């Protein structure tokens, strides 16, 4: 996958099969669109292109409301798009000025002039341009004017439910990691740096790695989760606790004793064990952790 940090950097000399969007989560609906782009690109001897925006438009347009948390960090999104086979990843810096471009000008100046669009594929609810004024109707008219093919993709469903980033966020906030993973098409991930904690876990033989993630990242509902991670090409399993009051994340990794402070790790959430509990003493905490470990290993089928 080739990456471009602005529209100005992208100067294609091939047919472009384009889609547009934030693609937060790169879920099964997004994956379907990318796979569809690649099929068309192969048939038309072109290449697939995603135009996305950074920062997230909501974070720019509503400066006083930064409550929206994202399913992916920018790096996670980029990695996921590469994994699904996207050929060209074009990132446009999103500003208030950019948001004021009229939809007619957006099609002419961005899609046609910059992206050299030959075939445009959009989602079922796509709107574009200033105040989201442009819709499928306006695109149909402009596609005829500028001679590109337009195709609208219907919503992708899982268990008869239309998949969207909004629905996945809600599932994660409810702690429903299993269904969130089904809609994502992979285990939800938390990527961050290992930082120093209070080291209390060491005193009860349950050392933990404290994870610090980017502010934009959505942290699932507090509680204990079964997780897996890869470190130096080796797979490990463990259990992650997300604090009730602080969202503090501590992972105990089974059969692991390496020092990993200041290392970046990626944790994938498999299942949710229980809600968070406040303990009166370390003895009760250790007893609960022993029960959690036993249940985790039973779910994972390991000893």
Q: pLDDT tens digit string along 33-78?
A: 999 999 999 999 999 999 999 999 999 988 878 889 999 999 999 9
224 and 281 share a domain? yes
If asked whether residues 127 and 198 sit together in one domain, one would say no
Say yes or no: 40 and 94 in one domain. yes
Considering 160, 195, 220, which residue would you say is the last residue of a domain? 160
Task: Indicate whether 142 and 213 sit together in one domain.
Answer: no
Whether the predicted pLDDT of 108 surpasses 80: yes
Range of the domain at 224: 187-300
45: which 2 tokens?
A: 């001897």
Please check whether residue 71 is in contact with residue 165, taking contact to mean a CB–CB distance below 8 angstroms.
Answer: yes
Q: How many CA atoms lie within 13 A of 42 on its CB side?
A: 8
93 located within any domain: yes
pLDDT band at 93 (very low <50, low <70, confident <90, very high): very high
Q: Distance from CA of residue 174 to its chain's centroid? A: 17
178 found inside a domain: no
Give dist(CA 81, CA 145) in Å, integer: 31
pLDDT digits (tens, 9 = 90+) for 275-285: 988 888 889 88
* 114, 223: one domain: no
- The pLDDT of residue 89 is 98
The answer to whether residues 139 and 16 belong to one domain is yes
CATH number where 232 lies: 2.40.30.30
Single out the residue in 113, 141, 160 at which a domain terminates. 160
* Structural domains of the chain, count: 2
Q: Is residue 167 part of a domain?
A: no
Please indicate, yes or no, whether residues 235 and 152 belong to a single structural domain of this protein: no
Coil/strand/helix, residue 152: strand
Cα–Cα dist 195/212, whole Å: 7
**CA 96 vs CA 51, 55, 111, 202, 286: distances in Å:** 17, 11, 19, 49, 52
Residues 114 and 239 in one domain: no
Predicted local distance difference test score (pLDDT) of residue 31: 95
Instruction: Please tell me whether residues 86 and 7 are part of one structural domain.
Output: yes
Q: What's the whole-model pTM score?
A: 0.92
- Consecutive H or E run containing 75: helix 74-83
Q: Determine the average pLDDT of the residues in 162-171.
A: 94
- Strands 161-162 and 188-195 turn out to be unpaired
Is residue 182 in some structural domain? no
Could you give phi then psi for residue 183, rounded to 5 degrees?
A: -75, -30
202 within domain boundaries: yes
Looking at the fold, whether 135 and 91 belong to one and the same domain comes out as yes
Return d(Cα 92, Cα 114) in angstroms, integer. Answer: 11
Q: Which residues contact 168 (CB under 8 A, 6 or more apart)?
A: 25, 27, 71, 180, 183, 184
For residue range 124-149, list pLDDT tens digits in order: 777 677 767 767 888 888 999 999 99
150 alpha carbon, distance to own chain's centre: 26
Whether residues 204 and 295 share a domain: the answer is yes
Percent above pLDDT 90 for the chain: 71
pLDDT > 70 in the chain, percent:
99
Confidence of residue 6 (pLDDT cuts 50, 70, 90): very high
pLDDT digits (tens, 9 = 90+) for 218-255: 999 999 999 999 888 888 999 999 998 888 999 999 98
């Amino acid at each position: 996958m080739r990456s471009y940090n602005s529209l100005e950097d992208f100067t294609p000399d091939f047919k472009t099969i384009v889609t547009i969007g934030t693609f937060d989560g790169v879920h099964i609906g997004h994956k379907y669109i990318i796979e569809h782009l690649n099929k068309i690109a192969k048939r038309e001897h072109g290449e697939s292109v995603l135009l996305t925006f950074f920062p997230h438009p909501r974070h720019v347009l509503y400066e006083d409301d930064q409550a929206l948390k994202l399913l992916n960090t920018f790096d996670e999104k980029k990695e996921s798009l590469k994994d699904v086979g996207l050929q060209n990843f074009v990132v446009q810096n999103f500003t208030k000025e950019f948001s004021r471009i009229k939809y007619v000008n957006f099609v002419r100046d961005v899609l046609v002039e910059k992206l050299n669009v030959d075939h445009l594929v959009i989602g079922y609810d796509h709107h574009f341009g200033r105040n989201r004024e442009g819709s499928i109707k306006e695109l149909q008219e402009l596609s005829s004017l500028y001679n590109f093919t337009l195709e609208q993709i219907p919503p992708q469903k899982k268990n008869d439910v239309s998949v969207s980033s909004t629905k996945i966020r809600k599932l994660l906030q409810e702690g429903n990691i299993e269904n969130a993973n089904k809609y994502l098409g992979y285990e939800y991930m938390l990527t961050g740096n290992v930082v120093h904690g209070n080291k209390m876990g060491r005193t009860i033989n349950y050392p933990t790695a404290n994870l610090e993630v980017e502010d934009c990242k959505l942290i699932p509902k507090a509680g204990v989760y079964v997780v897996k991670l890869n470190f130096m090409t080796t797979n490990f399993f463990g259990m992650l606790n997300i604090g009730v009051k602080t969202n503090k994340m501590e992972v105990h990794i089974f059969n692991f004793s390496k020092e990993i402070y200041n290392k970046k790790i990626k944790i994938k959430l498999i299942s949710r064990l229980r809600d968070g509990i406040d303990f009166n003493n370390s003895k009760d905490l250790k007893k609960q952790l022993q029960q959690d470990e036993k249940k985790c290993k039973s779910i994972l089928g390991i000893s």
